[in-house]
Structure 1
């Protein structure tokens, strides 16, 4: 357990009349390779945006609402306030529902672990619960609300620390029905005694003590080795993050391009139309002759838009 880790959540473990003040700490970390997206033509960073799928334009977070699709193409919009009213029980508690044998919970249900540490002089009661779970071989099945979402969880002793392992709900785990599996029990395939003996012997020879440090992400290490090799060889690229002002200017250019495209589609009709429409460009040219500075500033804008 990493010392000095930030407390993510403060609350209490409750069962019966027992109340143990505790805090949650991250017990896992993502160590995979994190690649950034780059435009191979210019080495500009490619970002992630909230985009309206119909218009293709980016929208602000304030304009996004939560919708539940109850039928194909039909949604119900639900506000955060309505969600809070519908389920107000966001008390900071790890509420143990029952205790079960540790062997009864399949690994399939376990999802994300958190360390649980006592706070506010709850150490003695914390130790009592931890040691009782070890002695009885039980784990606590609890419900907890974290970040407005309710989770099923298993409270498991692991050496000196209690671990709260968030679990998948029962309806989130798919049944194994429909898989082409060999039968078990009396209908199982007949396995010769010699085959079972050799298989057992092989398992015993490959058995050992669980040491998590012995298992490493070989893919990550291979990629990092390649990265180091390219850095030493000078095979690198410089990526300049655009400033916010440049990003906003780019958005204006995109909008302008769209407007120009629309204008070009209707340009032929206007050119062959009334003489009044043809007279407007002439008026602009006349005013340009009388105002030389306006002509100088207009030309660069036209080249930029093109």
Structure 2
């Protein structure tokens, strides 16, 4: 089972006037077999070249512009400056906008999970939010920016942890309009068929144990890899490591829960102005860094860590 380790992102859960400082940790790993391209002469990694698909020739990066197709074969060119102007601002917050019943969230919207862990002595208010979600059967719908990309997310209690599930946006999930499906309801099947099907389901029912399900293809390939490695058929390939994103300081405002319920405003704490000033000074630098990175990438968005 995958477990979190390195902190990938630091920020705060916010709702009302409450801030809960937290860090995100990877909650899932992709275990498929990754066949990388290598140069058999030198064992160097082989990457993708900038190739003109019509001429087949490699072109210089200075001749590349970014275009968005709006009709078949027709594109609009978007400049780096125009991309920077609409890039989401990095706020370092998981901003809860609504609480919904947990059973209202369709599985089809779930995309990628992250473990959320408390930082900066926020254990008590973290536990309060977790237990409140469990007691009410609710999940929090939030927006968060990770690696310059804005996501819709669901904050869900899972055992002792809070899990942030990144969600697909509403227009990214296809409707059922184009599918020919049988009518919903028991009238579409006979009582005898339903009885036998329910009996079969009961006989095949059991407890959820992820250890019972494995990727057999990956296991067999990795056995072959292990056999070849032990036989001395391995090769050394140098690959640069990806650095974790740097994050800024977050102010803990956990004492404002009551004021949120009353619709009050946040009091100015001693030393808060100085801290807030530092945070405000750092924000433009982070935003500029994100924008510069965006201009260097070959696409306006990059994946979350």
Calculate the TM-score normalised by the size of structure 2. Answer: 0.68
Alignment of 1:109-148 (within 5 A): 109-148=109-148
Deviations 1:127-176 (Å, cap 9, x if unpaired)?
10000000001000000011111100000000111000000000000011
Q: 1:190: Cα distance to partner? A: 3.5
Q: 1:62: Cα distance to partner? A: 6.3
Change (3 A) 1:225 1:70: same
Task: Return the alpha-carbon distance in structure 2 between the equivalents of residues 163 and 46 of structure 1.
Answer: 35
Q: Is 2:75 the counterpart of 1:77?
A: no
Look up the SS of the partner of 2:25 in the other structure. strand
* Contact 1:97/1:140 (<8 A) preserved: yes
Q: Which has the larger radius of gyration?
A: 1
Change (3 A) 1:120 1:35: same
Look up the SS of the partner of 2:183 in the other structure. coil
Deviations 1:15-71 (Å, cap 9, x if unpaired)?
11111111111111111111233678x797672223232443445656644332344
* Contact 1:13/1:22 (<8 A) preserved: yes
Alignment of 1:216-295 (within 5 A): 216-229=214-227, 236=233
Look up the SS of the partner of 1:83 in the other structure. helix
CA RMSD of aligned residues (A): 2.8
Q: 1:230: Cα distance to partner? A: 5.4
* Contact 1:152/1:166 (<8 A) preserved: yes
* Contact 2:100/2:138 (<8 A) preserved: yes
* Contact 1:70/1:76 (<8 A) preserved: no
Q: Which moved more, 1:201-210 or 1:222-231?
A: 222-231
Q: Which runs of 5+ in 2 are unaligned?
A: 239-305
* Contact 2:20/2:125 (<8 A) preserved: yes
User: 2:203 — aligned with what?
Assistant: 205
Task: Return the alpha-carbon distance in structure 1 between the equivalents of residues 17 and 237 of structure 2.
Answer: 59
Task: Return the alpha-carbon distance in structure 2 between the equivalents of residues 33 and 88 of structure 1.
Answer: 34
* Contact 1:151/1:166 (<8 A) preserved: yes
Which of the pair has the greater relative contact order for Cα pairs under 8 Å at 6+ separation? 2
User: 1:160 — aligned with what?
Assistant: 160
Deviations 1:74-115 (Å, cap 9, x if unpaired)?
322231x43343345321110101000111011100000001
Deviations 1:179-228 (Å, cap 9, x if unpaired)?
22111137x423133x2222111111111111111111111112223444
Change (3 A) 1:6 1:63: farther
Look up the SS of the partner of 1:91 in the other structure. coil
Q: Which moved more, 1:175-184 or 1:129-138?
A: 175-184
User: 1:215 — aligned with what?
Assistant: 213
Task: Return the alpha-carbon distance in structure 1 between the equivalents of residues 205 and 129 of structure 2.
Answer: 32
Look up the SS of the partner of 2:188 in the other structure. coil
Q: Which runs of 5+ in 1 are unaligned?
A: 242-306
